[in-house]
Amino acid sequence: MATAQKLNNALSQLKSTFIGKNEIIDLLGIGLIARENAFLLGPPGTAKSAIVRALSDRIVQGRNFEYLLTRFTEPNEIFGPFDIRKLKDGELVTNTEGMMPEASMVFLDEIFNANSAILNSLLMALNEKIFRRGKETRKLPALMFVGASNVLPEDEALNALLDRFLIRIKCDYVDPDQLHEVLLAGWKLENRLSDDLATIDADEIKELQAACREVDLTGIRQPYVDLVHNLRNTGIKVSDRRAVKLQNLIAASALMCGRMEATLSDLWVLKYIWDTEEQIEVLESIINAVIEKDTNPASHPQAAFNKAPNPEEVIKDVKLLAERWQDSSLSFEEKNVIKDKLRYLQTRCDWIANGEQKQYIQREIEALWQTILQTL
């Protein structure tokens, strides 16, 4: 599909600008086609806002809205003030010019600072793409919403806000080995030495969003159902509503690869539905075990991507799990989490190149399994 290729070209250009951020950029592309929201978790300085801004610049005839939320942010700052002229006539009508209700791409930084004054309107906008304020109700033109934060919410009242973001992406600093490339690309960006932008029209994005709903999911539906059951048994919450919406991400992955039929490899997007950072590794282990069975050459590049494990980090994680298992107060669920993480580390161990290190870690993992079996 030519339109999908235009989006891929824009994303490729972004990847050459933001070194080491391919995963984030690909997932933003998936969210854009699926018309599903994405959440970025990471410390300051990891290019979260810069990537979203650069992606917005590549969408022609679209408007970008970006705002840093604080505890004191008022509805007027997000949705716009009431129209004074109509207020004189007794009508409460919002002047939304240049504000979020008119934007194609919306980026809300420090999203969990949202206060009760804007929370209800924000939840409806994120979930239903509808703006409601008083008697006003209008559909939003937003292609997608992106939220960001340095931390996950601690207040349970904000969990509903996180739930509105189907895709969750961890943003870290780039690998030290790539720092030289980062400096060169950053210098080029700072001095506006970038090449002509590869762009795509907002209407073309809407065409892709419509085409996404036409992708045939028949071939992967049963494996997907089995996977959802597996994730639920592992303790990862996948509500019926989320299970339905996740199909949009699977279809978007297929469309990005020029296919109108989903394959097993398109389930890679399910790695990014975690609620806590502890679930990231567990999801990778479960999903990788499924998608590696797909040999389709037209699979998404991220489906074939396995992060090369650092042997020192793997053995450190094994020892931490061994220490945690000694805690007599562990609940049944916590014990299951430890076992799931150990299975994941066992899988990661297969990717270690150094044979001596690999054997040593495998022995440590086997010893911990013996300990676990003896105490069950």
SS (H, E, C) 61-82: CCCEEEEECCCCCCHHHHHCCE
Distance CA 215, CA 356 (A): 46
- What is the reported pLDDT for 192? 62
The torsion angle over the Cα atoms of residues 13, 255, 265 and 263, rounded to 10 degrees, is -160
Rounded to an integer, what distance in angstroms lies between the CA atom of residue 63 and that of residue 198? 17
Give the residue carrying structure tokens 């007027």: 76
Beta bridge partners of 105: 64, 144
Which distant-in-sequence residues (6+ apart) come within 8 Å of 376 by Cβ?
Answer: none
d(Cα 226, Cα 220) in Å, to the nearest integer? 10
Helix (H) or strand (E) holding 131: strand 130-133
- Identify the pLDDT of residue 149: 95
- Supply the pLDDT for residue 305: 66
User: What is the CATH topology of the domain spanning 2-190?
Assistant: Rossmann fold (3.40.50)
Does residue 134 surpass a pLDDT of 80? no
d(CA 39, CA 162): 8
More confident residue, 341 or 254: 254
Q: Is the pLDDT assigned to residue 143 strictly greater than 90?
A: yes
Counting every residue written for the chain, the total comes to 376
List the one residue out of 279, 274, 351 whose CA is nearest residue 314. Answer: 351
Q: Which two tokens stand for residue 46?
A: 């990891």
pLDDT, tens digit, 9 for 90 and up, residues 92-122: 778 888 899 999 999 999 999 998 888 888 9
- Amino acid code (one letter) for 203: D
What is the C-alpha radius of gyration for the chain, rounded to an integer number of angstroms?
A: 22
From CA 182, how far away is CA 17, in angstroms rounded? 8
| Helix (H) / strand (E) containing 347 | helix 332-349
Tell me what pLDDT residue 51 has: 92
CA distance linking residue 162 with residue 151, whole number of Å: 11
Element housing 60 (H / E): strand 59-60
pLDDT of residue 164: 93
Residues in CB range of 232: below 8 A, 6 or more apart:
238
How does pLDDT run across 22-48, given as a tens digit for each residue?
999 999 999 999 999 999 999 888 889
Residue-wise pLDDT for 150-202, tens only, equals 999 888 778 889 999 999 999 988 776 676 777 777 767 666 655 578 899 99
Q: What is the mean pLDDT of the chain?
A: 87
What's this model's pTM, rounded to 2 decimal places?
A: 0.80
Instruction: Check if the beta carbon of residue 361 is closer than 8 Å to that of residue 352.
Output: yes
Q: E strands of 155-256, at which residues?
A: 167-170, 200-201
Between CA 346 and CA 339 the distance in angstroms is 10
pLDDT band (50, 70, 90) for residue 20: confident
213-232 burial, b at 16+ Cβ within 10 Å, e below that, comes to eebeeeebeeebeebbeebe
Contact yes or no for 21/49 (Cβ under 8 A): no
Of residues 348 and 222, more confidence is placed in 222
Give the residue extent of every domain in the chain. Answer: 2-190, 215-284, 311-375
d(CA 283, CA 294): 18
Comparing 54-58, 251-255, 320-324, 336-340, the range with the smallest average pLDDT is 336-340
pLDDT at 90: 64
Most confident of 79-83, 97-101, 218-222, 276-280: 218-222
The residue ranking higher by pLDDT, 220 or 61, is: 220
Distance, in Å, from the CA atom of 206 to the CA atom of 154, rounded to the nearest integer, reads: 36
Tell me what pLDDT residue 116 has: 86
Q: Residue 245 has what pLDDT?
A: 96
Q: Taking residues 326-336, what's their average pLDDT?
A: 86
306 confidence band (pLDDT: 50, 70, 90): low
pLDDT of 214-267, one tens digit each? Answer: 999 999 999 999 999 999 998 899 999 999 999 999 999 999 999 999 999 999
How does residue 87 score in pLDDT terms, banded at 50, 70 and 90? Answer: low
DSSP 111: G
Question: Which residue from 251, 247, 309 is spatially nearest to 284, judged by alpha carbons?
Answer: 309
Residue 134, sorted as left (phi over 0), alpha (psi -120 to 50) or beta, turns out to be: left
Q: For position 299, what pLDDT does the model report? A: 81
Q: Tell me: pLDDT of 308 over 60.
A: no
How many other C-beta atoms are found inside a 10 Å radius of the C-beta of residue 324?
14
User: Does 303 have pLDDT greater than 70?
Assistant: yes
The pLDDT, as a whole number, for residue 89 is 67
Quote the pLDDT of residue 188: 72
Between these two residues, 50 and 292, which has the higher pLDDT value? 50
- Please tell me the predicted confidence (pLDDT) of residue 70: 93
Give pLDDT tens digits for 351-371: 676 788 888 999 999 999 999
